[in-house]
Amino acid sequence: MSYDISLRVKVEGIDKYVEVADGGNITWNVRDLIKAASGWDIKNEENNGTAEEIGMLIQKGIFALETNPDTYKHLESPNGWGTIEGTLRFFKGFLEVCKEYPYAYVYVW
């Protein structure tokens, strides 16, 4: 199981949102690692806030995982599908998308 993440903006004048960017995909196995390192408690199947807000959390997570990875080692998935290294790759790629579309909303499916 995994999270599919997209960035969406609201269409003015109607209750519709359109996708402006693909935020990536990350295994569900790292949800506790993401929360511990960044503070982002991923809400599945809903709006998680603006890309600017989530981007700030992602920056915090990158710093935490790069400066003190041993603190989070116990949160890696024992089957190898959910590592600190993979989470850092996801964080860095997703942060770039958040910076490009800071006012878009982050949706997770």
pTM: 0.94
Beta bridge partners of 108: 5, 46
Q: What is the pLDDT of residue 20?
A: 98
What tens digit of pLDDT does each residue of 60-84 get? 999 999 999 999 999 999 998 999 9
Burial of 82 (0-12, 13-18, 19+ CB in 10 A): buried
Q: Where are the domains of the chain?
A: 2-108
